[in-house]
Structure 1
Amino acid sequence: MKKILLVEDDLSLIEGLRYFLGKQGYEVSVVRTVKEAEERFANVIFNMVLLDVMLPDGSGFEFCREIRKTSEVPVIFLTASDEEANVVMGLDIGGDDYMTKPLKLNELISRMNAAWRRSESSSGQEALLTSNGIMVKLLEGRVLKDGAELELTAAEYRLLCLFMRNSKIVLNKEQVMERMWGSRDSYVDDNTLAVYISRLRDKIEDDPKNPVFLTTIRGMGYRWNTVK
């Protein structure tokens, strides 16, 4: 039985999710504050965290940062806000998905299953990716370029790994969003993806204004080129 940590302070939503997820065969552990979440997470191994952004004693973003220091457990944010800044922040600090309230329960199950599939797929990958002077140490979550460590957000890191694993293959925007976030009809649109691509190029390219590693194939998508 998979164990779910639900971090939420809305009592009506708590009861609804506890009942629904319980009927799906999951064991649901509920906490209502960041402090309680930290204590519970330190003592129990969970398979997923469903995490409200706004909590009585702090932000779900803060708790997600703490989780990512020690664990790659899938995290899905639950929030009343779908503003792009919040979405980007949640993904950058290591969130796997983002759902706005009121929740569609069947969609939640689909998102949970997609997050688990991505997690299981990435856990079985190789330990090292190398290309163009860039080295990704997958077991450590570190990226080096010409020996110097790069500071990437969680989303930028995952995006880089996706392209390096699919070297010389053109990936269209829909494929990238599907593999990154599991849904073509998602909160991440073409503009948000373009922002991520631009930020990644700023960190990995020798000349970000004239990229040669991660190039745009007009009318088709993006391609990772091996040039050195």
Structure 2
Amino acid sequence: MKILLVEDDRTIASGLEYSLKQEDFETVLCHNAVSATDIIHHKIDEIDLCILDLNLPDGSGYDLCELVKKRRDIPIIFLTAYDDEVNVVMGLDMGADDYITKPFRIRELVSRINTVLRRYHRHPQPKTTIEIENIQINTLEGKVYKNDKEVLLTALEYRLFLIFANHLGQVLTRGQLLDRIWDVAGDFVNDNTLTVYIKRLREKLEDNPQKPTIIKTVRGMGYKVGE
């Protein structure tokens, strides 16, 4: 079980990290909003729960909560030094699952963690968002976004790009691609048609289709997306 812990007080953060480790939780520790945002953008699929300090030197736990919830529905617990109704209500309205006021006992925090995890029925969840550079694929919606703006793809274009996304870092030959997409919508896809669809995808997704950085050609072998 992996927890994203965002706490700017290094003494508190160190103590929490150690205590959570003793409870068999793995932690990803961030001391500011910038580093936490980077984790949320690139590694949120690895995170099972977030513990967010509300007041950070370069931002707010509220903003981080909103960012997390846009990408995955995972439990969030706020840490705060303020114990007033306004902050509690605001945090819960934004989607937080619980709220704990500093100072607190570690056993109380662990109890709350276990409670919200049970509430979420921690069965493995399918990956619903795939990010490739500035491209995001929402597999639940069946939509693709570039710089947070939807890119309109045909069913076959979407299927082809999803094949690449599910094999990040792998070189896929033209034969392998044809085997996977030829029967979509009952249309036969030949080698020339595949070339056309690769070209269309590059025109829609690449910043410079003439010098693609997302769908890369591996000469003599095929294509590759991702490192």
Structure number with greater Rg is 2
CA offsets 1:151-204 (integer angstroms, 9 cap, x no match): xxxxxxxxxxxxxxxxxxxxxxxxxxxxxxxxxxxxxxxxxxxxxxxxxxxxxx
> How far off is 1:122 after superposition?
11
Counterpart Cα distance in 2 of 1:15 and 1:34: 17
Q: Which amino acid aligns with 2:5?
A: L
RMSD (Å), alpha carbons: 2.1
TM-score, normalised to structure 2, is 0.52
Any gaps of 5 or more consecutive residues in structure 2? 126-139, 142-227
Aligned position for 2:7? 8
Matches within 5 A, 1:52-91: 52-91=53-92
**What SS does the aligned partner of 1:85 have?**
helix
Amino acid at match of 2:49: M
The answer for the alignment partner of 1:118 in structure 2 is 119
In structure 1, C-alpha distance between the alignment counterparts of 2:28 and 2:60, rounded to whole Å:
19
Q: How many residues were matched structurally?
A: 125
Within 5 Å, which residues of 2 pair with 1:137-148? none
Which letter maps to 1:114?
T
SS in 1 for 2:16: helix
Give CA-to-partner distance per residue, 1:1-24, whole Å, 9 cap, x none: x11110000011011101100111
Question: Structure 1: how far apart are the matches of 2:31 and 2:111?
Answer: 24
Structure 1 pair 12/71, CA: closer, same or farther in 2 (3 Å)? same
What SS does the corresponding residue of 1:21 show, helix, strand or coil? helix
C-alpha distance 59-107 of structure 1, shift in aligned 2 (>3 A): same
Greater CA drift, 112-121 or 58-67: 112-121
Counterpart for residue 200 of structure 1? none
- Give, in angstroms, the shift of residue 43 of structure 1: 2.2
> Any conservation in 1 of the 2:40–2:67 contact (CA below 8 Å)?
no
- SS of 1:94's partner is coil
**Post-superposition offset of 1:42:** 2.2
Q: 1:85 to 1:123 in 2, by over 3 A?
A: farther
Note the C-alpha offset of 1:101. Answer: 0.3
Is the counterpart of residue 35 in structure 1 residue 43 in structure 2?
no
**1:1-228 aligned within 5 A:** 2-44=1-43, 45-120=46-121
Per the alignment, in what secondary structure is the counterpart of residue 120 of structure 1?
coil
Identity of aligned residues (%): 44
Structure 1 residue runs of 4+, over 3 Å off? 121-124
Distance 2:67 2:13 in 1: 23
In the TM superposition, what is the alpha-carbon distance from 1:123 to its structure 2 partner?
10
Indicate conservation of the 8 Å contact 2:6/2:52, yes or no.
yes
- Cα distance 1:98–1:122, how it changes in 2: closer, same or farther (>3 A)? farther
* 1:120 Cα offset (Å): 1.1
Per-residue deviation, 1:61: 0.4
